[in-house]
Structure 1
Amino acid sequence: MIDQQTFLRDAMRRLNLIRENFSERIGVHKRALDTWLLPETSGEYRAMPDIVSKFVNEILVKDAESHVNTQTVYSARSAAPLSTRIGHQGKPQLLSVDQFSRESVEDLMRIADVMQPIARRQKVSRILEGAVLANLFFEASTRTRISFGAAFCRLGGSVCDTTGFTFSSMTKGESVYDTSRVISGYVDALVVRHPEQGAVDEFARATNIPVINGGDGPGEHPSQAILDLYTIQREFSRLGKLIDGAHIVMVGDLKYGRTVHSLIKLLALYRRLKFTLIAPPTLEMPPYILERISGDGHVVEQSTSLAGGLKGADIVYATRIQKERFADEAIEGYAPEFQINQALIDANCDAGTIVMHPLPRDGRPAANDLSTDLNYDPRLAIFRQTDNGIPVRMAIFATLLGVENQVQHSMRDAGWRSPSHVGPDDAMFDGLDG
């Protein structure tokens, strides 16, 4: 059975309610709801009465039925497996965030919620025992490569890990098609990162096994976008906010930053967002993406002023310059004054602003990136963000391999002891697990 905390968070997500409104909907005091949302390890945790659980389930059923024949942001919940609904050309592959609707991405985040006890080293699952993943990274990577590998291993699978072109027979002239087809005969899933936009699609066309885009040049990074959206959802849940109506500020290299390309398209599935895009003229968001997100009630503003653009932000999403994407172009107008630091955040943002970054960041004092002087500020979510990559990527693997419904019943207690917080300086939020 799904744990109480995950059940309640999922109910609030489906009903699109913050804690205050949700407690009113189910007829309980907000303080009682807060104690039910606490981790079981908390001294203030309380078990939710069975009658409340049944009432919440009744509300969810009625809400789902009310959307079947009405035009809303939610489509009628489909009986088709999630892998079918998010698949690419009939295959269980994840190449672009364009494969998602709001409903399907929220269904995937629900599976990520179920994965949390495994990601936090509290539980163990072996649902992918015997399965083998090939991590094919033709471009340098640390976080993404290890995160995918760790996610697969935590579900009981094993990983064949490679990095760079030198390992590949492609240096001998072998085609992408041949490489993909041959390796598909050895493994059960592929994660591919490649410096050329569209190259991962070529790998996917040559095989029927799951292929996941781990980043294709300046194109997309779908799993990063999903974990970023998941982080925003969890942070907003803690703060009592909804993604609908939020003010999202994106700063930095918006031209070549594939993480912001994917994330902004996912966020556009929500309603009435304000996007403030801050970049030098040479690094602005590509026009095709601006055209994609315009309309549907969204407001899009572009600016070269960092301080002015941060006012009223719910999320500040910073990116580094993608120097590896530049050819003969000069980087103009991106001076150290573009650095996001403690003084800038304190002067222009409130206590509820969340600061994010896909990492790596350039932490040197004069760098035009996210400053390390924010490391002790609880508004900095970058490490919660990277931690969320494990349950999200576990959810992706489980979904594409068709075992997502087995996760809950496969768990057993971990046989080792893990710290309650991975980092010694991780922020605490009044006992409410973000």
Structure 2
Amino acid sequence: MAVSQQVFLRDAMRRLNLTRDVFAARVGVKRRALDTWLLPEGSQEFRSMPEVVLRFVTEIVENESLLNKYAQSVQSGPLRDRIAVGGKHQLLSVEQFGRESVEELFRVADLMQPIARRQKVSRVLEGAVLGNLFFEASTRTRVSFGAAFCRLGGSVCDTTGFTFSSMAKGESIYDTSRVMSGYVDAMVIRHPEQGSVAEFARATNIPVVNGGDGAGEHPSQALLDLYTILTEFSRLGKLLDGAHIVMTGDLKYGRTVHSLLKLLALYRGLKFTLISPLGLEMPEDIIEHVAKLSNHVIEQSHDLADVKGADVIYATRVQKERFSDEQLEGYTADFQVSKALIDQYCDENVIVMHPLPRDSREGAHDLSVDLNDDPRLAIFRQADNGIPVRMAIFAVLLGVENLVQHSMRDVTWNPPSHIGPEDAVFHGMY
């Protein structure tokens, strides 16, 4: 088998749109057996699936009529060509993706997991240089992109802020982009003004990734968020189609929820509950975009009690830096996703997410720290998923995704078995 057993099985379930329970029943095994086959090979409970199961699953996946019944038809040509913008291999918006192409990207991210988890290394981007151009302060996104590029063998040149940069001296976006593209092989750009990253992209033919443009979009964050939801749902034996998704907080300026809502709309029959303070509601144009795509239910609310029955709660912080004349009416410390709220209105399988950073200070109206030891809190697993997803983005845009599997070799250092102290209970979920 050219790929790992874990990736093969997850790909099969994703292609056929089946939960673990239904998939196990379809191949005639118990769910517990399937779970052991899906564990990483280094896990103590990992088991190899029988050859007869491998042949059977391969036959199902390769059966065109069955795939057409359960999944969308696969488009032809390299993924980077199918998501290109004006013929350029750039990632500016989630609107470049359809459901089939986004799940194809996630299959590449699955391949990246052993590298992201420090089990393997790859040098497919050796010699390539990434320019991280962050004209707005960032820690997580900037380091995540840099780490992802480095883990594929590339190197990174960072720049943060523009107070003393050439742009502060009057240089145009076009000039800056054209000059930088002569130095590096790909650029990630974050800028405080909506639409500015598209201007950078127009001035160059090298890959450009939108790392966040004002209150506009944050496509890589939305992709890693969706990847996290699908991964968590796989662990819980759920399908995304038909799920209840709650988004809370600053939905007006929160670019992560703008992009995520558009991506989630590629699935079928979702219920979206959008909970915000007065004046910070989701922009109408995004709601209209989602409403056109499928038979979704969209409800807007100002009451956190409407998280009741959610499968996913996606909390956001208030984007005060983007305010003009907004008032925080009704946005007090009571408007907080807390353990008490989750316990009262949700069950044990709800997934609580946040794009980070969150305001952890006492009295903050953000995701409460009293959920830190709760297994329903997925924010650190969510952040960890940024590495394989961003590795996949770079691999696809630079056309090396098919080289990764055969380029891997074992790491030479001793990584920890769990990245964080809260990981042990979820070891093997990927």
Which bin holds the TM-score, normalised by the shorter protein? over 0.9
Aligned to 1:129, which of 102, 126, 130?
A: 126
Superposition pairs of residues 9-408 of structure 1, within 5 angstroms: 9-63=10-64, 67=68, 74=72, 76-295=73-292, 296-307=294-305, 309-408=306-405
Instruction: Provide the rounded CA distance (Å) in 2 between the counterparts of 1:259 and 1:361.
Output: 13
Q: More deviation in 287-296 or 120-129?
A: 287-296
Instruction: Provide the rounded CA distance (Å) in 2 between the counterparts of 1:187 and 1:128.
Output: 13
Q: Shift of the alpha carbon at 1:55?
A: 1.5
Could you say what the CA RMSD is over the residues aligned between the two structures, in angstroms? 1.3
State the AA in 2 paired with 1:373.
D
Instruction: Provide the rounded CA distance (Å) in 2 between the counterparts of 1:276 and 1:64.
Output: 36
Q: More deviation in 83-92 or 392-401?
A: 83-92
Asked if the contact 2:43/2:428 (under 8 Å) is kept, the reply is no
Q: Shift of the alpha carbon at 1:172?
A: 1.4
Asked if the contact 2:61/2:67 (under 8 Å) is kept, the reply is no
Asked if the contact 1:228/1:385 (under 8 Å) is kept, the reply is yes
Q: Any idea what the Cα deviations from partners look like across 1:252-293, whole Å, max 9, x if unmatched? A: 000000000000000000000000000012000000011111
- Residue identity (%): 71
Q: Secondary structure at the match of 2:359?
A: coil
Instruction: Provide the rounded CA distance (Å) in 1 between the counterparts of 2:66 and 2:399.
Output: 26
Instruction: Provide the rounded CA distance (Å) in 1 between the counterparts of 2:53 and 2:66.
Output: 20
State the AA in 2 paired with 1:15.
L
Q: Shift of the alpha carbon at 1:41?
A: 2.4
Instruction: Provide the rounded CA distance (Å) in 2 between the counterparts of 1:144 and 1:43.
Output: 33
Q: Shift of the alpha carbon at 1:251?
A: 0.2
Instruction: Provide the rounded CA distance (Å) in 2 between the counterparts of 1:354 and 1:167.
Output: 42
Q: Shift of the alpha carbon at 1:171?
A: 1.2
Instruction: Provide the rounded CA distance (Å) in 1 between the counterparts of 2:428 and 2:184.
Output: 40
Instruction: Provide the rounded CA distance (Å) in 2 between the counterparts of 1:210 and 1:136.
Output: 13
Asked if the contact 1:19/1:30 (under 8 Å) is kept, the reply is yes
**For the structure 1 residues 65 and 181, does the alpha-carbon distance in structure 2 shift closer, same or farther, using more than 3 Å as the test?**
farther
State the AA in 1 paired with 2:56.
F
Instruction: Provide the rounded CA distance (Å) in 1 between the counterparts of 2:74 and 2:307.
Output: 37
Establish whether residue 2 from structure 1 lines up as the match of residue 3 from structure 2: yes
State the AA in 1 paired with 2:112.
M
Q: Which residue pairs with 2:415 in the alignment?
A: 418
Instruction: Provide the rounded CA distance (Å) in 2 between the counterparts of 1:136 and 1:37.
Output: 38
Q: Shift of the alpha carbon at 1:6?
A: 1.1
Instruction: Provide the rounded CA distance (Å) in 2 between the counterparts of 1:261 and 1:400.
Output: 23
Q: Secondary structure at the match of 2:43?
A: coil
Asked if the contact 2:279/2:326 (under 8 Å) is kept, the reply is no
User: Mind listing any 5+ residue stretches in structure 2 that lack a counterpart?
Assistant: none
State the AA in 2 paired with 1:29.
K
TM-score normalised by the chain length of structure 1: 0.96
Instruction: Provide the rounded CA distance (Å) in 2 between the counterparts of 1:286 and 1:401.
Output: 34
State the AA in 1 paired with 2:105.
L
Instruction: Provide the rounded CA distance (Å) in 2 between the counterparts of 1:368 and 1:399.
Output: 38
Instruction: Provide the rounded CA distance (Å) in 2 between the counterparts of 1:63 and 1:323.
Output: 51
Asked if the contact 2:17/2:71 (under 8 Å) is kept, the reply is no
Q: Any idea what the Cα deviations from partners look like across 1:236-262, whole Å, max 9, x if unmatched? A: 000000000000000000000000000
Asked if the contact 1:238/1:432 (under 8 Å) is kept, the reply is no
Q: Shift of the alpha carbon at 1:64?
A: 6.4
State the AA in 1 paired with 2:386.
G
Q: Secondary structure at the match of 2:238?
A: coil
Q: Shift of the alpha carbon at 1:294?
A: 1.5
Instruction: Provide the rounded CA distance (Å) in 2 between the counterparts of 1:239 and 1:66.
Output: 23
Instruction: Provide the rounded CA distance (Å) in 1 between the counterparts of 2:129 and 2:366.
Output: 37
**For the structure 1 residues 167 and 393, does the alpha-carbon distance in structure 2 shift closer, same or farther, using more than 3 Å as the test?**
farther
Q: Shift of the alpha carbon at 1:432?
A: 4.2
Q: Secondary structure at the match of 1:214?
A: strand
Q: Shift of the alpha carbon at 1:153?
A: 0.4
Instruction: Provide the rounded CA distance (Å) in 1 between the counterparts of 2:66 and 2:85.
Output: 28
Q: Secondary structure at the match of 1:405?
A: coil
Asked if the contact 1:34/1:432 (under 8 Å) is kept, the reply is no
TM-score normalised by the chain length of structure 2: 0.97
Q: Secondary structure at the match of 2:106?
A: helix
Asked if the contact 1:15/1:63 (under 8 Å) is kept, the reply is no
Q: Any idea what the Cα deviations from partners look like across 1:88-114, whole Å, max 9, x if unmatched? A: 111100000000000000000010000
Q: Shift of the alpha carbon at 1:119?
A: 0.3
State the AA in 2 paired with 1:19.
R
Equivalent residue pairs, number: 428
User: Mind listing any 5+ residue stretches in structure 1 that lack a counterpart?
Assistant: none
Q: Which residue pairs with 1:433 in the alignment?
A: 429
